[in-house]
A and B are shown apart, each in its own frame.
Chain A
Amino acid sequence: MLQANVRRDGSSKFGSDNRYGVFPSFSAAWRINKENFFNVESISDLKLRASYGLIGNDRIGDYRYTQYVSGGFYYPMGVDQHQVLGMRGFNLANEGIKWETTATANVGFDLAMLDNRLTLSTDVYKKRTDDILVNVSLPLSFGGEYSQLLNAATVENNGVELVLGWREVKNDFSYGFVGTFSTSTNKVVSLGGNGEPVWGGDIDYNSGSVTRTMVGGSISEFTVYVTDGIFQSIDEVNAHVNEAGDLLQPNAQPGDIRFRDANGDGILDQEDKVKVGSPLPDFEYSLSFNAAYKGFDVALMFTGVYGNEIFNGVKYITESMKEYRNYSANALNAWTPQNKNTDVPRAVKDDPNGNSRVSDRFVEDGSYFRLKTLQVGYSLPASLLSKVKVDALRLYVGANNVFTITNYSGYSPEIVGGNIYNRGIDFGAYPLFRNINFGVELKF
């Protein structure tokens, strides 16, 4: 089986030189078990698949390729101070923006064995997205819009996906499993014109950035200060010096957090932020199971991710203790001379030591394993129902989000990301709730 496609798309969102993109795609499959030479009894289906294709993306605002004149700059002018409308160019034009293009190459096979009871499907893919359209932050000193739309990045993803299933029916009893597993790696190939890193993920007013995306790394890596325990005494504060003997944290007091001068330049500043984790998991998986016996049926589904980190923005907001406002109960465990065995720094107005600066204190393991759904049902026998002219009647009880095993301390480790530079930051989304439902299914 062979298939080929070519499309040429035009978009008014780009300048006249870059309006059109050509996006071909090809796919091929080979049903091996239909070939004459194939005679393995137990294999009921075996298909090899391969595909390659380009797709384009123009999901951006209109007119972004040109500098336009913005209004909205009002000033009360004249002797009666009536509002006059000021106008000027505000954005930074980019005449050259063009289609973002994703090329995906995929190889895989589908296998069914033992009378279709065992199924296996695998895919290996390589996906490369060129000219990713993103808003890149501009210096404040530009004096206009905060960001410019650019074809700013090229990112590669390589991955493997597996789906393995088993299904069997024996008289009154049937059951099945489906397991999925996927893993991928992500690599930033290029960024912007000059390749300067892109910072993102500001948690709060005055928090500074949490993520950095750099060429050679993966997107949105958590890049923050590194903590090194809590100063237990003024001697420890005075011992935290650079080579010249100057205090690295001159405003620190016992109970404050010790930060590492990671680059060893003798000054504790923004240059000491280092990569401490990634919001991208090592792998994701799920397992579902269902079974039925006579009138009874049961279904479960587990999901999980492993190996990602989360920046706990909620903890950042609720434990900083720098202003007079409400904080979480953890603040009660703050360091005091009587409560030294804690990882919560002292409570101090204005936070002179910067305990609340973005640091690995707020970066947590985001792995989890969750029983997502569970349902048990019973269908009344048809013989009973026919007497009351009902075709089917099923009673069931089910639950969602039954339990979650995780080390993450926030509301839920399942984070819905913002833009690509804000991945894995927990801004305090509404937590998932566990619900339990009872139901009756009735068919006439």
Chain B
Amino acid sequence: MKRILIIGAVLLAMGLGACTDDFLSQKNPNEPSVDQFWKTRDDALAAVYSMYAPLTYQYRYGFFEYGWGPENWRGDDVIYASTYAAFSKIARFTNTPDIWEVAELYRNNYDIVNAANQCVGNIAKCEIPDAEVKQLVAEAKFMRGYAYFRLLRNFRYIPLYKESPKSKDDIYVPQAERSVVWAFIEEDLKEAIELLPLTREGDEVGRATKAAAAGFLAYAYVYQQKYADAETLLNRIIGGEFGAFDLLSVDNYNQNWDGTNEHNVESLFEIHMANVSPKGKTTNILQAEFLAWQEANAAPWLFNEVQKVKDIDGNVDQRYYKSMISPDLPFTAPLGEYSDLSDFVSGRVLILKHTTPSWDPWERWENNFVLMRFADILLLQAEAINEQGRVDDARPFINRVRTRARIAELPTGLTKTQMREHIMHERAIELCFEGRRWYDLVRWHEAGWFDIKTLLSEHGKPGAENFSNQYLYYPIPEYEYETNPKLDRNKQW
């Protein structure tokens, strides 16, 4: 018996001590752990690219469902013309915090934030020259500022992650005051203006430049009614400090989105949408949505508004023909496969902006989506100056946009309110369907120009009667409240 116990004890000791730790320390052959990463320039570039990936939503329907849609459905320039409940609720101001598409919009921008935070925190570890480190970090700060800006214009109180969470302790971040997030955005974009390159060539085309950062910072200033800061920065952009930007001629106005002349003189920043490599003719998700399935239509209000101001020859504003099409105005566009569509009926206005010039299904291509262009910069400048009470000084900037469209210049001697009316008209026509309109209405409402609910119902926005001020912003997604105990219920909307 005693012998058995001894043998047993020896075997036990062997068993417990036999395995060495080395044997169980395995390196993942497919996905390196973070301590193996952040070594080379390739690592740094891969991390930088990961910030851009969410812009396309990779899954291209996502670009429409989680991107373009939630940022345009509420505007009075767009009608949601199909039957999906989530979109219909958003467009008619009955949305609740459980709408997944809004959660995706939210998450998508936080994907950019996390990627950017990793770049900001780690790129200096890579073996590349200091100047390059600084430039890449500035690029990350641009992307972080851009993402937080998009979050802030869609959600009222958002969590502010200044670093990428490393453990469970870092991950529950409470909502920040809006002024704190705005200050963070401004700081990021200022550094980006300072350190980003003026231009991008070859393989770098599509990455952020000084002008991209300056454009978004100026927009952020106007958003906060910091008109003097905006004016100064917009002057630098318009003066050519960040590149010689100009307006395309009215004949080439389409080139802002039709894919035939990308990164042109009017563009400050755009999303690349190629689905295959190299860029081909596979997908144009917005063309499919606007022309084939017609989930989104132009609003009748916009169709009337664009006809209010005729061009110098007394014809319809040329921008109408590049943005919309309806049987109610003469049209020349080749209707191709859509010519016998029963939906193409009186009273219905289809969206042309963002589509390619041919409606032939085999001739559509993956055109870029412009996020910031010079016409917007000029109109922001007109607004920033007018709001400081210098109405006549605002004139040249709005007139430049009008002149390009062959619309007569505005006279001198307008009142500030009259100028506002012109700016409102001009931005509605010039920037429709570009994710500007709803946010213009929100900030003008907040600046006290008008009551947004009254305006929405005057403009015949379906569901305007459901609107109340809580719908100025999306609610923080309910899923977020289930997973982050630090969020404040009183700050959901």
Question: Per a CB cutoff under 8 Å, which of A16, A80, A209 touches B25?
Answer: A16
On whether A138 and B112 interact (CB within 8 A), knowing A81-B272, A205-B86, the answer reads no
Q: Quick check: is B99 within 8 A (CB to CB) of the other chain?
A: yes
Size range of the chain A interface in the assembly: 35 or more
Q: Determine the residue in chain B with the shortest Cβ distance to A324.
A: B83
Q: In the complex, what distance in Å separates the CA atom of A94 from the CA atom of B167? A: 7
Bits for B87-121, please: 1 = Cβ < 8 Å to A, else 0: 01100101011111001001100111111001000
CB of B24 within 8 A of CB of A92, answer: no
Given contacts A16-B21, A138-B483, contact A68 B32 (CB under 8 A): yes
Stretch at the interface among B184-192, B447-455, B474-482: B474-482
Contact in complex: A87, B484 (CB < 8 Å): no
Docked complex Cα distance between A139 and B86 (Å):
22
Q: Quick check: B279 and A85 within 8 Å, CB to CB?
A: no
**Residue B363 lies at the interface, judged by CB distance under 8 Å to chain A:** no
Report if A388 contacts B (CB, 8 A). Answer: no
B380 within 8 A of A: no
Nearest chain A CB to B270 CB, angstrom units: 11
Set B21, B31, B97: member contacting A19, Cβ < 8 A: B21
Using Cβ atoms and an 8 Å threshold, which residues of chain A touch B24? 10-12, 16, 19
CB <8 Å contact, B34 and A86: no
B19 touches A (CB below 8 Å): yes
| Residues A206 and B86 in contact, CB atoms below 8 Å apart | yes
Cβ contact within 8 Å between B94 and A350? yes
User: From residue A94, how far is it (CB to closest CB) to chain B in Å?
Assistant: 7
CB distance from B15 to the nearest CB of A (A): 7
Residues of chain B within 8 A of A282, CB atoms compared: none
The A-contacting residues of B in range 182-228, CB under 8 angstroms, are: 201-207
B101 to chain A: closest CB distance in Å? 8
Contact A86 B202 (CB under 8 A): no
A84: chain B residues at CB < 8 Å are: 45, 49
Q: Indicate if the CB atoms of B25 and A85 lie closer than 8 Å.
A: no
Write the nearest CB–CB distance from B313 to chain A, whole angstroms: 38
**Contact between chains at A68 and B484 (CB < 8 Å):** no
From A138, A140, A206, A207, residue with most partner B Cβ within 10 Å: A140
Contacts A11-B24, A141-B110; is A92 near B37 (CB within 8 Å)? no
Cα-based distance from A115 to B110 in the complex (angstroms) = 73
Residue B371 at the A interface, CB < 8 A?
no
Q: Give B244 Cβ to nearest chain A Cβ, in Å.
A: 19
In the complex, B346 has a CB within 8 A of chain A: no
Give chain A residues whose Cβ lies under 8 Å from the Cβ of B56: 75-76
CB distance from B450 to the nearest CB of A (A): 24
> Of residues 55 to 112 in A, which have CB atoms within 8 Å of B's CB atoms?
62-63, 66-71, 73-89, 92-94
Nearest-CB residue, chain B, relative to A4 = B8
A350 and B25 alpha carbons, distance in the complex (Å) = 54
Q: Which residues of A lie under 8 Å from residue B84 when comparing CB positions? A: 323
Specify which chain B residues have a CB less than 8 angstroms from the CB of A139 in the assembled complex.
159, 171-172, 480, 483-484
- Residues 355 to 411 of chain A near chain B (Cβ within 8 Å): none
The smallest C-beta distance from A103 to any residue of chain B, in angstroms, reads 20
Residues on the A chain within 8 Å of B414, using CB: none
Chain B residue with minimal CB distance to A78? B203
CB distance from A348 to the nearest CB of B (A): 10
Which of A32-40, A118-126, A142-150, A303-311 lies at the interface? A142-150
A10's nearest neighbour on chain B, judged by CB, is: B19
Interface size class of B (residues with CB under 8 A): 35 or more
A68-B31, A73-B53, A142-B171 known; A78-B202 Cβ under 8 A = yes
Q: How far is the CB of B215 from chain A (nearest CB, A)?
A: 20
CA distance A157 to B161 in the complex (A): 40
Residues of A within 8 A of B159 (CB): 139, 141
A330 at the interface (CB under 8 A from B): no
Q: Is A351 an interface residue when CB atoms closer than 8 A count as contact?
A: yes
Provide the residues of chain B in CB contact with A62, threshold 8 Å.
26, 28
Q: A12-B24, A87-B47, A207-B98 are in contact. Are A77 and B171 (CB under 8 A)?
A: no
Q: At the interface, yes or no: B292 with Cβ under 8 Å from chain A? A: no
Roughly how many angstroms separate A12 CA and B28 CA in the complex, as a whole number? Answer: 11
Q: How far is the CB of A12 from chain B (nearest CB, A)?
A: 4
Encode contact with A along B442-469: 1 for CB under 8 Å, 0 otherwise: 0000000000000000000000001000
User: Chain A contacts of B16 at CB under 8 A?
Assistant: 8, 22
Chain A residues with Cβ under 8 A from B103's Cβ?
Answer: 140
> Is the pair A141, B31 in contact by a Cβ cutoff of 8 Å?
no
A341 interfacial contact with B, CB 8 Å = no
**CB contact under 8 A between A86 and B47, given known A19-B24, A81-B272, A209-B482:** yes
List chain A residues, Cβ under 8 A from B164: 89, 143
A6 within 8 Å of B (CB atoms)? yes
Given the known interface contacts A74-B58, A139-B172, A141-B159, the answer about A81 and B206 at a Cβ–Cβ threshold of 8 Å is: yes
Whole-angstrom distance between the Cβ of A283 and the nearest chain B Cβ:
32
Inter-chain contacts of A269 with B (CB < 8 A): 489
Return the 7 tightest CB-CB contacts between A and B, nearest first.
A143-B114, A86-B50, A86-B49, A76-B274, A73-B53, A81-B274, A143-B110
Can you spell out 15 A-B residue pairs with CB atoms less than 8 angstroms apart?
A: A10-B24, A63-B26, A67-B33, A68-B33, A69-B33, A69-B34, A69-B36, A79-B202, A81-B366, A84-B49, A86-B52, A92-B166, A92-B168, A93-B166, A141-B159
Given A76-B274, A352-B94, 7 other A-B contacts at CB below 8 A?
A: A75-B53, A87-B43, A88-B114, A88-B115, A141-B161, A323-B83, A354-B96
Interface residues of A (CB under 8 A from B): 6-8, 10-12, 16, 19-20, 22, 62-63, 66-71, 73-89, 92-94, 137-144, 148, 150, 193-194, 196, 199, 205-209, 251, 269-271, 322-324, 349-352, 354
